[in-house]
């Protein structure tokens, strides 16, 4: 999601440092951003030309410290592993200006614990900013208050989301899954248990959700799109945080078989 978030900031006029672990990943990210900008331009929704926006994004391999020098906000979107996130936060804290906000795009990890990786005086400026895939299209951003976040930081995060053209919602407590993933977990679980019990097929449930409940994607299409590995990860993280779930074999089998959806060519559906 990192490249989608970088794209949003660049469209809004910010100079962006985009940091990742390899040049290959960064090159792919920049290609994805360009493709997305072309689509937005085609729809007449881009005020500037594509090259002007791309020129605002500076790719940086590996060096978090260099990437955060002089910035006003950092949005972390690394792998959903709390130890990796804490290392990135500690590094960003060391090098970012004292007044900078450090935001995490985590989907389910405890933001309060991530905040404990930074110096006590920075903790009020650590906040959750949870974007949705694909970030250029999805209007929602959850702004999550950790046990340390100050009201000023929440207001600043809300303001950033608005400047990116998003609709922020504030989640006042750092609860497992925040709002969307907490509710989606129940929807996914109910859908999967219906399949496990032979009550309906994947296709029938998706049809019902899309053609009657009005969702843009059925539960299984959305899991394929999000990545079933990510869905399993979110479920595990929420379970560890005390959110009672009844993990369904239909999902866990896909994870064990590494059939993660669109990204692997097969999940609940097949992708050419």
List residues near ligand CAA by CB under 6 A: 36, 39-40, 43, 107, 132-134, 136-138, 181, 216-217, 222, 226, 230
Smallest separation (angstroms) from ligand CAA to the CB of 179:
11
- Name the helix (H) or strand (E) containing 52: helix 50-54
- Residue 172 designated active-site: no
3-state helix, strand, coil in the chain (%, to 5): 50, 15, 40
- Residue 167 designated active-site: no
* Catalytic-labelled residue, pool 105, 108, 146, 181: 181
* Among candidate residues 145, 78, 137, the one with its CA nearest the CA of residue 111: 145
Q: Which is nearer to ligand CAA, 88 or 100 (CB)?
A: 88
- Chain residue at closest Cβ approach to ligand CAA: 107
* Catalytic-labelled residue, pool 7, 76, 142, 189: 142
Q: Which is nearer to ligand CAA, 8 or 26 (CB)?
A: 8
Cα angle, residue 164 at apex, residues 15 and 66 outer, rounded to 5°: 30
- Residue 32 designated active-site: no
* Catalytic-labelled residue, pool 7, 80, 105, 130: 130
Q: Which is nearer to ligand CAA, 112 or 181 (CB)?
A: 181
Q: Which is nearer to ligand CAA, 132 or 148 (CB)?
A: 132
* Residues 236 and 270 sit within 8 Å (Cβ to Cβ): no
Strands 140-144 and 126-130: antiparallel
- Name the helix (H) or strand (E) containing 93: helix 82-95
- Residue 133 designated active-site: no
Smallest separation (angstroms) from ligand CAA to the CB of 60:
23
* Among candidate residues 142, 135, 157, the one with its CA nearest the CA of residue 11: 135
Positions marked active-site: 107, 130, 142, 181
């Amino acid at each position: 999601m990192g490249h989608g978030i970088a794209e949003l900031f660049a469209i809004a006029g910010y100079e962006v440092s985009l940091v990742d672990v390899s040049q290959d990943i960064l090159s792919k990210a920049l290609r994805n951003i360009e493709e997305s900008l072309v689509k937005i331009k085609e729809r007449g929704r881009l005020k500037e030309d594509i090259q002007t926006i791309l020129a605002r994004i500076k790719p940086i391999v590996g060096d978090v410290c260099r990437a955060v020098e002089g910035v006003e906000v950092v949005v972390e979107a690394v792998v959903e592993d709390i130890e990796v996130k804490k290392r990135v936060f500690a590094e960003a804290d060391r090098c970012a200006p004292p007044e900078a906000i450090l935001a995490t795009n985590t989907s389910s990890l405890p933001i309060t614990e991530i905040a404990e990786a930074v110096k006590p005086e920075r903790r009020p400026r650590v906040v959750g900013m949870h974007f949705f895939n694909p970030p250029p299209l999805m209007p929602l951003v959850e702004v999550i208050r950790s046990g340390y976040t100050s009201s000023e930081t929440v207001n600043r995060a809300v303001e950033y989301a608005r400047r990116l053209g998003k609709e922020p919602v504030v989640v006042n407590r750092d609860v497992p899954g925040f709002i969307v993933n907490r509710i989606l977990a129940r929807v996914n679980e109910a859908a999967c248990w219906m399949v496990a019990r032979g009550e309906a097929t994947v296709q029938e449930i998706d049809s019902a959700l899309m053609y009657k409940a009005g969702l843009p994607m059925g539960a299984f299409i959305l899991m394929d799109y999000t990545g079933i590995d990510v869905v399993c990860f979110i479920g595990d993280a929420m379970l560890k945080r005390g959110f009672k779930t009844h993990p369904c074999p239909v999902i866990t089998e896909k994870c064990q078989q590494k059939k993660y959806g669109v990204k692997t060519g097969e999940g609940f559906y097949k992708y050419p």
